[in-house]
Amino acid sequence: MKPEINKLLREIPSMDELLARSWVAPYEEKLGRNTVKSVFADVIGEYRKEILKGTKKGINVPELEKEVIKRLERYKRNSLRRVINATGVVVHTNLGRSCLSEEVIKAVSEVARGYSNLEYDLEKGERGQRLDHVEWLLCQLTGADGAVVVNNNAGAVLLCLSALAQGGQAIISRGELVEIGGSFRIPEIMAQSGVEMVEVGTTNKTHIKDYREAITERTKMLLKVHPSNFRIIGFQSVPSREELAEVAKENDLVFMEDLGSGVLVDLSVCGLKGEPTVANCVRSNVDVVTFSGDKLLGGPQAGCIVGRKPLIDKIKRHPLHRALRIDKMTLAALEATLRIYLEGRAHEIPTIAMLCADADTLKKKALRLKRMLKRAAGDFFDIEVVEVEDVVGGGAYPADTLKGYALSIKSNKIKDSELVELLRKKKPPVIATTAGGFVLLHVRTILRNEEGLLIDCLKEVAHERS
Ligand SMILES: *Cc1c(COP(=O)(O)O)cnc(C)c1O
C-alpha cells in the first residue's frame, strides 16, 4: 500500500471517537446505539473504499459527520408519510390509492385502540366468524349470496383459482392475459394456483364457440379478467357475460370474473360509462366476482370475493384463506365504508367524490387556490388556472379522461423540474407534474384540509429562493 493512502486511512477518526461526539447522544436515544454505529460504519466504509481506489485525496471530518447526520435524519423521520397528491390521478397506486373519510378512520381507530369482537359472537358468548362483520353487507350491496374478503385482490384471485380450479384447466381469452402493476400477471397467477391455462381466441376477438370448443373433461372454469390498464379499440369483441354463464352452466363449470376495480354504484351519472357494477356481474350470472377494496370502492386495501354460496364456502375452507386473511383495522375500515354505501351516501366517499367533482366546482377550487397563492407568494410565482385532463387510475376507465383544472405555476427564479423536486421535499411532500415548462397542481386530488398546507409549502419555496 502506498504510504499516502495509509496516511489518509489513519486520518479517519475511530468509531469510539466519533460516537463520543456531543451531537450523537440525541440520535442514540431515538434510534439506538446500533443504528448510529452502523450508519457511521457505512460512511466510514465508503470513505475507505474511495481512498483505496485513489478517488479521495483528503479527509474532511466535518463533512463525514455531516453525511452521517444526513442519513440519521432520514431514519429519524417516519418513512411512510402522508403526501399531497396534486397529480389529478384519483386512484394512484403509488400514492396509496383511496383516502378514507373521517367516519371510516374513527371506526379504525376505535378497533385499533382496544380489544374487539373480531372473532367473538357477543350474543352467544362464543367464538364468532371474522367475516360476519362484512359478509352480509357485501351480499346486500351486490346481490350475491356469499362473500369472502382477503388481504388484496391479487390474493383474492389466487385464492379463488386455487380453491375452485386447482389441478384442472381454466379457459381464458387471449385478449385478457394482462399484467397489472408490474408483478400481477394472469398467466403467472394461474401457474401459481396449479391451474392449467387454456388460451382461446385472439387478442382482439374471441367468440363463444372458442370457449365451447376448448372444453375438455379437465376443464373446471371459464375465467374473465378485466383488461384494466389498457383498451383495445376498433375491431374488437368478446362474448357477453350471459353467454359465458350459459356455457359454464351447461358444462358444470365455474364462471369467474376478476373485475379489478369493482364499482358498487353506477358512475355514469358522473360521466364514467361502460363499466359494469359488481351487482351487474352477479345479475349476469357470474358465479364468482373478485375486486379491490381500495380502487373505485374507495375503502381500505382488501380483496373482495362475492358469489354463489357453495363456491364461497369452498373458498372459505381453503388453507390459503387463512394465510391471506384480512386484519381487524382493514375490516373496520371496510365495514364503515360499506355502510356508507348501504345508507345511500356513496358521494361522501372521498374517491367517489373526487371522481364525480364537476368541472365548475374544480374551477372554483382552482381560482380559490390561485387567490391564496397570489397573496402568499404572488411576487415569486406566475400563476394561472388552466384546464387539464385528470384520470381515474387504478386500472379503471383507462380510455376516459376527466375534465379538470390545475394551477399552472412558473417562476423566472427556478426551473420547473427543480420546483417539482423542492415540493417533493416539503412537509408534507407535494407531488406535482410538469408540462411545457410549467408546474401543474391538479386540484381534483387535493383534499380540502390540504389547501392551506399546500400554499405554505409553495410560500416556503418562494422564501428559500427569493
Ligand atoms: C388491480 C387489479 C388487480 C390487483 O388488485 P390488488 O388489490 O392491487 O391486489 C387484479 N386484477 C385486476 C383486473 C386489477 O385491476
29-77 confidence digits (pLDDT tens):
999 999 999 999 999 999 999 999 988 888 899 999 999 999 999 999 9
Question: Between 399 and 254, whose confidence is greater?
Answer: 254
Look at residue 396 and tell me whether its pLDDT is greater than 90: no
The stretch 393-406 carries a mean pLDDT of 89
- Best residue among 228, 229, 290 to mutate for probing ligand 1's pocket (most ligand atoms within 8 Å of CB) is 228
Our answer on whether the CB atom of 228 is closer than 6 Å to any ligand 1 atom is: yes
**Span from the CA of 292 to the centroid of ligand 1 (angstroms):** 6
Question: Between 274 and 294, whose confidence is greater?
Answer: 294
196-243, pLDDT tens digit by residue?
999 999 989 999 999 999 999 999 999 999 988 777 778 888 999 999
**Span from the CA of 20 to the centroid of ligand 1 (angstroms):** 51
Q: List the domain boundaries for the chain.
A: 3-76, 84-92+354-465, 100-346
**Span from the CA of 156 to the centroid of ligand 1 (angstroms):** 9
Nearest residue by C-alpha to atom 1 in ligand 1 = 260
- Best residue among 95, 192, 292, 397 to mutate for probing ligand 1's pocket (most ligand atoms within 8 Å of CB) is 292
Q: What is the pLDDT of residue 374?
A: 97
Q: What is the pLDDT of residue 405?
A: 98
- What percent of the chain clears pLDDT 70, i.e. is strictly above it? 100
pTM of structure: 0.93
188-209, pLDDT tens digit by residue?
999 999 999 999 999 899 999 9
Q: What is the pLDDT of residue 59?
A: 87
pLDDT band for 315, please (50, 70, 90 cuts): very high
- Mind spelling out the 3-state secondary structure of the chain? CCHHHHHHHHHCCCHHHHHCCCCHHHHHHHHCHHHHHHHHHHHHHHHHHHHHHCCCCCCCHHHHHHHHHHHHHHHHCCCCCCCEECCCEEEEHHHCECCCCHHHHHHHHHHHHCCCCCCEECCCCEECCCCHHHHHHHHHHHCCCEEEEECCHHHHHHHHHHHHHCCCEEEEEHHHCCEECCCEEHHHHHHHCCCEEEEECCCCECCHHHHHHHCCCCEEEEEEECCCCCCCCCCCECCCHHHHHHHHHHCCCEEEEEEECCECCCCHHHCCCCCCEHHHHHHCCCCEEEEECCCCCCCCCCEEEEECHHHHHHHHHCHHHHHCECCHHHHHHHHHHHHHHHCCCHHHCHHHHHHHCCHHHHHHHHHHHHHHHHHHHCCCCEEEEEEEEEEEECCECCCCCEEEEEEEEEECCECHHHHHHHHHCCCCCEECEEECCEEEEECCCCCHHHHHHHHHHHHHHHHHHC
Q: Which of 268-277, 340-349, 366-375 has the lowest mean pLDDT?
A: 268-277
- Best residue among 95, 149, 180 to mutate for probing ligand 1's pocket (most ligand atoms within 8 Å of CB) is 180
Nearest residue by C-alpha to atom 5 in ligand 1 = 153
Look at residue 80 and tell me whether its pLDDT is greater than 90: yes
Q: What is the pLDDT of residue 398?
A: 81
- Best residue among 97, 149, 160, 258 to mutate for probing ligand 1's pocket (most ligand atoms within 8 Å of CB) is 258
Our answer on whether the CB atom of 151 is closer than 6 Å to any ligand 1 atom is: no
Nearest residue by C-alpha to atom 11 in ligand 1 = 260
Q: What is the pLDDT of residue 400?
A: 86
Q: What is the pLDDT of residue 56?
A: 85
Look at residue 1 and tell me whether its pLDDT is greater than 80: no
Question: Between 303 and 466, whose confidence is greater?
Answer: 303
Domain 100-346 carries which CATH code?
3.40.640.10
**Span from the CA of 185 to the centroid of ligand 1 (angstroms):** 10
Our answer on whether the CB atom of 300 is closer than 6 Å to any ligand 1 atom is: no
- Best residue among 92, 184, 190 to mutate for probing ligand 1's pocket (most ligand atoms within 8 Å of CB) is 184
Question: Between 224 and 181, whose confidence is greater?
Answer: 224
- What percent of the chain clears pLDDT 90, i.e. is strictly above it? 88
Q: What is the pLDDT of residue 102?
A: 97
Look at residue 178 and tell me whether its pLDDT is greater than 90: no
Q: What is the pLDDT of residue 57?
A: 84
pLDDT band for 266, please (50, 70, 90 cuts): very high
Q: What is the pLDDT of residue 252?
A: 98
Q: Give the ligand 1 atom nearest the CA of 395.
A: 15
Q: What is the pLDDT of residue 274?
A: 84
Nearest residue by C-alpha to atom 7 in ligand 1 = 153
Look at residue 182 and tell me whether its pLDDT is greater than 80: no
Our answer on whether the CB atom of 153 is closer than 6 Å to any ligand 1 atom is: yes
Q: Give the ligand 1 atom nearest the CA of 226.
A: 13
420-437, pLDDT tens digit by residue?
999 999 999 999 999 999
The stretch 262-271 carries a mean pLDDT of 92
Look at residue 98 and tell me whether its pLDDT is greater than 90: yes
**Span from the CA of 403 to the centroid of ligand 1 (angstroms):** 25
Q: What is the pLDDT of residue 172?
A: 97
**Span from the CA of 51 to the centroid of ligand 1 (angstroms):** 49
- Determine whether domain 84-92+354-465 maps to CATH 3.90.1150.180: yes
Our answer on whether the CB atom of 226 is closer than 6 Å to any ligand 1 atom is: yes
As a whole number, the mean pLDDT across the chain is: 95
Look at residue 16 and tell me whether its pLDDT is greater than 80: yes
